[in-house]
Structure 1
Amino acid sequence: MTDPKPLPFHFQFLAGAIAGVSEILCMYPLDVVKTRQQLSLGKNTAGVIGTLGQIIKSEGAPALYRGIIPPIMVEAPKRAIKFAANEQYTILYKNLFGIDKMTQSLSILTGVSAGVTEALVIVPFELVKIRLQDKANKAIYSGTWDALTKIVKQEGIFALYNGVESTIWRHALWNGGYFGVIFSVKSALPKAETKQGQLLINFISGAIGGTVGTIINTPVDVVKTRVQGYKGIGPRKYNWALPSLVTIAREEGMGALYKGFLPKVLRLGPGGGILLVVFEQVSSLIRKHILVEQKQPM
């Protein structure tokens, strides 16, 4: 049995965009907590709830959504690329290798390829977001446009691509784990007999995929945050991913490579489920209502 025919690219893009925005609106405060913990050079003692409480108490509840404009701006193309590129790479690799049915190895390969593509698009948006989420920058940047213009003016246009290598690592690892695990979990679970059962399978497989992807990519995410947090003042401590991993582990201990892991996995575990459920639901609606109507004779 062959896999379902992929949607046309523009419909894949639309479904991915809707899925991404849905996920970020639900889970963004945990991303702020993750960034704060990853930027901290000391031991994180407050925990997720404690950090959320500290932010609300000292900076107000709106601070939980500080820096959300850049990810909202990029979330549609970012998540759209995640799924649309994954589908397009699936077509490419199936034709290249002469196969018509998905395998776990192919799922991992397409996921890694989509992750690299996604990373190249989002680096400037991620950098601005990290700068805005950093409490130390509250008095420096008043908002998204102010941060963008100051970064370009003070550090140069190419500073917007600081951390591109670690971002590629982060997204390649996460997407490879995410799509690879989704394939395995869906294959292991019994076939759903109802629409509600299919929704549950999609959420479970997406949540497990998001969790595994997070376990795999958190160390390079810590590096990415440190690299993009550098404002061009003083010597650059973190640059390339692998040497930075060694530096962090040597100076702060191996546990520091998983700073921000709990808020990250709390976001991207369920968030991965939300992503897949919304993407599959929107794709199903498009196939049922739009593509069918387009095929009907006038």
Structure 2
Amino acid sequence: MKWSVIVIPSLEDAQLTPILRLGAGACAGIIAMSATYPMDMVRGRLTVQTDQSPRRYRGIFHALSTVLREEGPRALYKGWLPSVIGVVPYVGLNFAVYESLKDWLIKSKPYGLVDSSELSVTTKLACGAAAGTVGQTVAYPLDVIRRRMQMVGWKDAASVVTGDGKTKAPIDYTGMVDAFRKTVRHEGIGALYKGLIPNSVKVVPSIAIAFVTYELVKDILQVEFRISD
């Protein structure tokens, strides 16, 4: 068999509206999130274990086997719905804000920040940070509800969620709306934003770096390689 490499010139990116960018980013996020959700659910439980909570999970595989054995396969997808809904403002807004802000800077060149059709790495980082801030802030309440729904079925998880180490009543949510209602009623609207600042310190820079890396890889891969016989 004879192998050859066909080089296909790259095509110019089609002009996408913010709505199309939002939809494309959201679809990509939903697929990726759904594929890895059981690991995220387990990570959530491992993360919130404290001295006041039962030390039930020794690691990832022990947590997975314990949840499957005691709560069933569906338990690995608790909180999936608010996660899917949250993907739209989170991933979608990240892409939409980043690309739209980048286009605006190139076209408008405000305050002399941009003097060519190519943005600097620093400017791209700033665009990514702005996009991450918007997406993170809008979607964060859904992330809080997702984490709380992941705790349902975990013995004595109520003391972990509320952080007081004293609550003995089991957490019981009939669904996403019920989780929102009970959280706001018992703890106030501010509970939906618990941990926003420390989470943003981690998420916003990572999103900025991810977008810059994405741009650099696009610049490097100017051609597509395909192997044919």
In structure 2, distance between residues paired with 1:188 and 1:194: 11
In structure 1, distance between residues paired with 2:144 and 2:211: 25
Q: 2:15 aligns with which of 101, 112, 119?
A: 101
CA apart distance, 1:120: 1.5
CA apart distance, 1:115: 2.5
CA apart distance, 1:138: 6.8
1:27-46 equivalences in 2 (<5 Å): none
Q: 1:161 aligns with which of 74, 77, 97?
A: 77
In structure 2, distance between residues paired with 1:160 and 1:185: 37
1:123-138 equivalences in 2 (<5 Å): 123-136=37-50
Q: Does 1:174 align with 2:90?
A: yes
Asked if the contact 2:89–2:135 (Cα under 8 Å) also holds between the matched residues in 1, the reply is: yes
Number of residue pairs the alignment of both structures matches: 195
In structure 1, distance between residues paired with 2:62 and 2:115: 50
Report what 1:110 is aligned to. Answer: 24
Q: Does 1:271 align with 2:206?
A: yes
CA apart distance, 1:154: 1.1
- Tell me the C-alpha RMSD between the 2 structures: 2.5
In structure 1, distance between residues paired with 2:115 and 2:31: 32
Q: Does 1:221 align with 2:143?
A: yes
Greater share of helix: 1
1:19-58 equivalences in 2 (<5 Å): none
CA apart distance, 1:148: 1.0
In structure 2, distance between residues paired with 1:217 and 1:269: 13
Q: 1:260 aligns with which of 186, 195, 198?
A: 195
How big is each residue's C-alpha offset from its partner over 1:2-32, in whole Å with a ceiling of 9 and x where there is no partner? x9546xxxxxxxxxxxxxxxxxxxxxxxxxx
In structure 2, distance between residues paired with 1:129 and 1:192: 45
CA apart distance, 1:242: 2.6
How big is each residue's C-alpha offset from its partner over 1:151-171, in whole Å with a ceiling of 9 and x where there is no partner? 111111221111111111222
Unmatched tracts of structure 1, length 5 or more: 7-99
Q: 1:210 aligns with which of 132, 137, 150?
A: 132
Shift in CA distance, 215/239, structure 1 to aligned 2, threshold 3 Å: farther
Ranked by relative contact order (alpha carbons within 8 Å, sequence separation 6 or more), the top structure is 2
CA apart distance, 1:236: 4.6
CA apart distance, 1:265: 1.4
CA apart distance, 1:286: 2.7
Asked if the contact 2:153–2:171 (Cα under 8 Å) also holds between the matched residues in 1, the reply is: no
Greater share of strand: 2
In structure 2, distance between residues paired with 1:181 and 1:238: 34
CA apart distance, 1:207: 0.9
Shift in CA distance, 277/138, structure 1 to aligned 2, threshold 3 Å: farther
TM-score, structure 2 as length reference: 0.76
Asked if the contact 2:82–2:176 (Cα under 8 Å) also holds between the matched residues in 1, the reply is: yes
Q: 2:173 aligns with which of 233, 238, 241?
A: 238
Report what 2:122 is aligned to. Answer: 200
What is the aligned-residue identity percentage? 27
How big is each residue's C-alpha offset from its partner over 1:178-237, in whole Å with a ceiling of 9 and x where there is no partner? 111112211221356497x43223211111111100111010100001011223447552
Report what 2:163 is aligned to. Answer: none
CA apart distance, 1:118: 2.4
Q: Could you tell which deviates more after superposition, 220-229 or 103-112?
A: 103-112
SS in 1 for 2:200: helix
In structure 2, distance between residues paired with 1:266 and 1:239: 32
Shift in CA distance, 249/128, structure 1 to aligned 2, threshold 3 Å: same
Shift in CA distance, 5/243, structure 1 to aligned 2, threshold 3 Å: farther
